[in-house]
Structure 1
């Protein structure tokens, strides 16, 4: 095998070394550390823990300073506070207040502290002034001796200035003080883990991150002055650890936290109370050793370097995303389940870097292979038509005359007149732009350049409704010379040139496929393409609509099963037709019926040009309308041959009888002849009216008032009602304007009223109601006749259909009246319904859309 055709494979070593170098390079910046801080802050703030029920704050706030005066306060106030809390049952009192200077009230405060027996004081690690080194600042001896324990109040700020935790032990030289919150639990100063260091060196150990319960104000707090001035409150302090410290603005230490940053910092006393709460709940978080993060980063590099080169490009993103999610999951699991803060920033950068690096290597790997395939792609077939821009203006004029049939034209070459009719050179506009149409009313002009020669072409179009459509069509035509078209500069970069060549080749292929797909979809017939086993591989939208099968289920379905499931037949069976088409390579045409609709399916075999594969193209045509027209044609012939022919034959026979004996013509014979003539006339009239209704279009619509139409129809049948002593009652007074044909609507209402009178007994009532229902004008005609049988109702509006009971009763009709009414109503986009039962009369209801429903 030629090695030039093999892509350059990316080995795990190549990808791994690149990722390792990039990770080491990133360590120069502060990005990994900031990313670790951000991940920790997002995790902690999204799921803060609850506050321990054993902790509460007594705050030196602005209100206390206003009531008790400026700081420092006499220590007898602190002694009184300790006594109040002791009486309230406070279990432990923790002061976050520095008592490093002696005071006359020290003995009083020490006495109150001993009386309570569980008061803790802070040790501060800070220089006395800016000219001194860091040193410990302890409480004065009387207070330190009376305290149950001492603890450091130093909070460690991270490199970004945010307080996320503190050291459990901190001190100067060889003595490490426990943190203030840890001292409450009974921890003693740690001297075993100290090192031999000078007294000015800050020594610390046991760093813990603190999951805060929220921003400032998350822990229950009570004002110092309120607690001091009110009676002891056991319900607030009994059995609880009370932290006392400053929260007033500008007084005491303030700490930015992950919840607030510098916008709403937290006081030091509340931070220590959060430390105590987290310690009580066992939620303090250890930090993983540095080697753990380095090991995790190395392991991530090894795994991705080994896996990515063997994956498909589409799965690389998923693999890198999965690795990032796995690292985030490991981080969250360690943080919330194990209580370990494992820095994952370096490891998390690995999949983020691996995606572009592996993609770049793959791009280089496929570069040679891509270049070898470009020539084959460039020779792919394409769908194109000869552009009109390359045709000579005389040819264009000939085509325009044949296509558009203009009333006049003009073609000039420079100053020479080549062809003209109805236009003269003086009509040519002076501001023509080459290649762009200029339309002036019904005149359209264009200037063309062919081989350095200038042509002016003009068309005089018919000034009718189609003129604007033709002019829009002309604007879409591109008739300028291709030689004058500016070409975009070709890409100079090697890879860009190759990508452009691939784009053009694939674009031609896509255009070919899109052309074929759209051609199949826009065909009026349904198209099915099968493979050589008769299994459907393609179907257009008509097949999905007609068979009501979702497109995904059509693919892979045998054509025989589809046809048998919708039109089972025995002669000829579908499998025989399909198999004969495939085996004999002969076309077949068969009738098909789907859901009461008629189709014609034509099976045509085909063979692919580049192989031995064969299949069938099935073309399905909807011939339901044609079959319906054939049925109506047969019914019309039957109607003419029987219903129309029968009274004419009777008339001819009666006339022949009268001619044989003209001296004995009595009135009864003349009446019978008149009845036959009138029946023939009514048959012809209803036949003509039905034809007019079927040809009705909205171009013959105009505004008409529905109540007036009904009143005219009532007046037209009033004489018929008087003959049978039938009372016709019209109810309705609202003008209802429609968009329709008043003549045919009136005829439809007359048909309904005539039927109501004809089928009603003498001295009965026919009720007419005209009313509005929403956006519809409604008409209900109810009679007291014999009603309609239930089995006749579904076929009531079919043409040439007559009721058996009424025919037997001697009431003869044509079967066209109700069909005419239904046709007129449907042409007006309305609906008609009937409610009837034998012996209780019938009620026909028409609903037609109102012209202006908002009025």
Structure 2
């Protein structure tokens, strides 16, 4: 985030968005449209005047007639925005005389700076320059995009500086602000012939082309404009006809609606007289404003709820534009492009960062939750459809559901501990308290039975905990035939006691696996013991068979008891589940079998027969097998 803010501070400080920044400033300037005083008038050399008076250039005697008509109307000053650098032997004297009769005529001079650092200056012919009340340059500074946004109030070369045409007009009219009333200062120590510019001025345009009061040159010449409407006015005479005038794109004028140079001078005069100015925000000011906006957005994202943070970001977009406009009204032009771009990028980048953090968190929590699950309890089903976030959320939800399931099993365990384990111990204590005399001998067998029952359940808990812990396994290569024989031998006394036949046919070839011998034998004993106790009756048969299962082995223990319902049988491999509420034991034997099978990369299961049930363990074969 700090790098992001630093990058956009630099972008804002140096207007790094270039034309985009300029375009935004132009649009803000267009919001500040205001009227131009009616005493500033442009007399335009328009298409109607050209049609009536003939092709351009006109004889200077025509301009002399116009000046005499204006002299009679008594304007405050006349800015004759015409380039008169070529002599006209027949008309120069007439025009000079008319200028002297008026006494308040300002003429322009044209300058063209050269890449070499010098400039070409076109002055009016001496006779006209001598008769003028003032001279001013009309050079316009174009930005890189070709738009005229600023000019220099003083421009020249060496020790010679000319004021801009607008300043010269205001001085002759006696309306120049105090800051402009002084004459241009000579360039101390300036290199002779070297071009110099001073007092850059961003023009605070009042409106688009045609915003300044405009009358036709022909109408004034022929007396159709009332003299009273020009009395005391600042009058500028210049070309406004398309193709004839020097016209420029401005912030308020596109390529399709260029502003004539004479109107640019008129709008500059109006702004200077009103004391309006625009200065570009200093780099440190622009950087500070940019980081202020983005800092508020970052604070909202960090501290506010997501919905409120988005609303804050959306509100900051127009707020930033409004701030730039308010600063413009105060005379400071801040280009908010970097701040706006930062706001548009901040939320996606922040969301990406938070999403990345959320994904990492979900992954960590998922792995932590998986590690907390007993071995073999992790859900290894294929990932849910959707993007990465959907899959991570689904995986974490599944793991959390498994944890919740274990919490439920814990409650069941507490129930069994509080009831099944406490019951024999309580009975044992009661019998001990009652023993004595003739009751002592009769109580001992009952005490032994309850004690053995409690010990059996406690042993079941211990063995299940060991089976669910990875540290309890010592893997080695072993032959499942040997494990099956040992398990059958261990259960043989019980089978004999219950008068149940116990068969265990085995393949002639080796059945190798990588496993923990004692754990596998105990699991097989649990399966056989379960079949003998719950799935057989005297005279019945339990068959233990070792068969191939794909690349591994399956040990099946089949009994002849009543077939179980599938939904009931599947639950028997979960701890504390019993086939019936009246069944003895705590429901840990088959849970132990499942834990051992999963720790060996296999599984335990059940399938029903027409008469009987088959419980089995499937294990992967070893490389040697």
Q: TM-score, normalised by structure 1?
A: 0.41
SS of corresponding position for 2:25: helix
Q: CA deviation at 1:321?
A: 3.6
Matched, 1:89 2:81: no
Given that 1:207 and 1:286 are in contact with CA atoms closer than 8 Å, whether structure 2 keeps it comes out as no
How far apart are 1:107 and its partner, in Å? Answer: 2.3
| SS of structure 1 residue aligned to 2:18 | helix
Q: Does 1:498 align with 2:392?
A: yes
Aligned-partner Cα distance in 2 for 1:503–1:69 = 89
Is residue 163–residue 184 contact of structure 2 (8 Å, CA) maintained in 1? no
- How far apart are residue 206 of structure 1 and its match? 2.2
Q: Tell me, what secondary structure is at the counterpart of 2:257?
A: strand
Q: Which residue of the partner structure matches residue 29 of structure 2? A: 44
Is residue 167 from structure 1 mapped to residue 152 from structure 2 by the alignment? yes
Where does 1:320-335 land on structure 2 (aligned, <5 Å)?
320-335=313-328
Decide which of 322, 337, 340 is 1:345's aligned counterpart. Answer: 337
Contact 1:92 1:242 in 2 (8 A): yes
Assess, with a 3 A threshold, how the Cα gap between structure 1 residues 114 and 26 changes in structure 2: closer, same or farther: closer
Q: Residue 88 of structure 1 contacts residue 238 of structure 1 at CA under 8 Å; is this kept in 2? A: yes
The answer (yes or no) to whether the contact 1:36–1:344 under 8 Å persists in 2 is: yes
Instruction: Give deviations 1:287-316, integer Å, cap 9, x for gaps.
Output: 233332133334445555566434433333
Deviation, 1:48, is 0.6
Match of 2:289 in 1: 296
- Report whether the alignment pairs 1:247 with 2:233: no
Contact persistence 2:8–2:291 (CA under 8 A)? no
Can you list the C-alpha shifts for 1:698-739, whole angstroms capped at 9, x where unaligned?
A: xxxxxxxxxxxxxxxxxxxxxxxxxxxxxxxxxxxxxxxxxx
Give distance in 2, aligned partners of 1:103 and 1:224.
21
Check if 1:215 corresponds to 2:205. Answer: no
- Retained in 2: the 8 A contact 1:55–1:241? yes
**Cα distance in 2, alignment partners of residues 496 and 196 from structure 1:** 74
Secondary structure of 1:184's aligned partner: helix
1:632-686 Cα distance to aligned partner (Å, 9 max, x none): xxxxxxxxxxxxxxxxxxxxxxxxxxxxxxxxxxxxxxxxxxxxxxxxxxxxxxx
**1:115 and 2:101 are equivalent in the alignment:** yes
The 10-residue stretch of structure 1 (208-217 or 301-310) with the greater mean CA deviation from structure 2: 301-310
Against the structure 1 CA distance between its residues 116 and 488, is the aligned structure 2 distance closer, same or farther, given a 3 Å change threshold? farther
- Any gaps of 5 or more consecutive residues in structure 1? 1-14, 379-486, 507-855
Shift of 1:158: 1.8
Q: How many residues align?
A: 381
Q: CA deviation at 1:114?
A: 1.8
Cα distance in 2, alignment partners of residues 114 and 344 from structure 1: 51
Match of 2:170 among 180, 185, 199: 185
Distance 1:191 1:221, change over 3 A: closer
> 1:309 aligned to 302, 307, 319, which one?
302
- Kept after mapping to 2: 8 A contact 1:316/1:355: no
Deviation string, structure 1 residues 305-354 (Cα, Å, up to 9, x no partner): 56643443333323434444443232111111x12212232233333332
CA distance in 2, matches of 1:360, 1:271: 49
Question: Relative to structure 1, is the Cα distance of residues 348 and 20 closer, same or farther in structure 2, using a 3 angstrom cutoff?
Answer: same
> Is the contact made by 2:117 and 2:195 (CA closer than 8 Å) also made in structure 1?
no
SS of the counterpart of 2:325? helix
Aligned CA distance change for structure 1 residues 159 and 371 (closer, same or farther; 3 Å): same
Deviation at 1:269, TM superposition (A): 0.7
- Cα deviation for residue 86 of structure 1 reads 0.8
CA distance in 1, matches of 2:382, 2:254: 54
Give 1:662-811 correspondences, 5 Å limit. Answer: none
Look up the match of 1:141.
126
Residue among 220, 224, 227 paired with 1:227: 220
Q: CA deviation at 1:194?
A: 4.1
Query: 2:128 matched to 1:155?
Result: no
CA contact under 8 A between 1:52 and 1:278: conserved in structure 2?
no
Cα deviations across residues 206-243 of structure 1 (Å, max 9, x unaligned)?
22232333322222222212211226731321111111
Counterpart CA distance in 2 for 1:339 and 1:492 is 54
Q: Structure 1 residues 342 and 18, CA, compared in 2 at 3 Å: closer, same or farther?
A: closer
**Which of 41, 46, 55 lines up with 1:56 in the alignment?**
41
Bigger mean CA offset, 265-274 vs 326-335: 326-335
Residue in structure 2 matched with residue 367 of structure 1 by the alignment: 359
Q: Any idea what SS the aligned residue of 2:335 has?
A: coil
- Distance across 2 between alignment mates of 1:174 and 1:148: 22
Q: CA deviation digits over 1:445-491, x for unaligned, max 9? A: xxxxxxxxxxxxxxxxxxxxxxxxxxxxxxxxxxxxxxxxxx99966
Report if aligned partners of 2:64, 2:95 keep a CA contact under 8 Å in 1.
yes
Question: How far apart are the structure 1 equivalents of 2:220 and 2:16?
Answer: 48
2:109–2:136 contact (8 Å) kept in structure 1: yes
d(CA) in 2 for partners of 1:24, 1:84: 58
1:354 matches 2:343? no
- Please list the CA deviations of residues 26-61 of structure 1 after superposition, one character each: whole Å capped at 9, or x if unmatched: 999x86232322222222223311011211111111
CA contact (8 A) 2:201 2:277 kept: yes
Could you say if the C-alpha distance between residues 110 and 353 of structure 1 is closer, same or farther in structure 2, counting changes exceeding 3 Å? same
1:258 maps to 2:256? no
The structure-2 alpha-carbon separation of the partners of 1:127 and 1:303, relative to structure 1 and needing over 3 Å to count, comes to closer
Which residue of structure 2 lines up, in the alignment, with residue 788 of structure 1?
none
Distance 1:494 1:115, change over 3 A: same
- Residue 82 of structure 1 and its aligned partner are, at CA, apart by 0.8
* TM-score, length-scaled by structure 2: 0.54
Whole-angstrom CA distance in 1 between matches of 2:70 and 2:46: 18
Q: Secondary structure at the match of 1:122?
A: strand
Q: Which has the higher contact order (CA 8 A, sep 6+)?
A: 2
Tell me how far apart the structure 2 counterparts of residues 98 and 19 of structure 1 sit (CA, whole Å).
52
Distance in 1, matches of 2:273 and 2:151, equals: 16
Aligned equivalents of 2:274, 2:322: Cα separation in 1: 23
> 1:318, 1:50 → 2: CA distance?
37
Using a 3 Å threshold, how does the CA distance of structure 1 residues 305 and 44 change in structure 2: closer, same or farther? closer
The change in CA–CA distance for 1:76 and 1:188 in structure 2 (over 3 A counts) is: farther
Distance in 1 (CA, whole Å) between partners of 2:186 and 2:348 is 48
Q: 2: CA distance between counterparts of 1:214 and 1:220?
A: 12
**1:564-606: CA deviation from partner (whole Å, max 9, x where unpaired):** xxxxxxxxxxxxxxxxxxxxxxxxxxxxxxxxxxxxxxxxxxx
SS of 1:32's partner is: coil
1:17 lines up with 2:10 in the alignment: no
Tell me the C-alpha RMSD between the 2 structures: 3.6
Q: 1:27 to 1:284 in 2, by over 3 A?
A: closer
**Are the aligned partners of 1:175 and 1:190 in contact in 2 as well (CA < 8 Å)?**
no
**1:116-159 residue CA offsets vs partner (Å, 9 max, x unmatched):** 1111111211279x999632211122211221111111122222
CA distance in 1, matches of 2:36, 2:130: 32
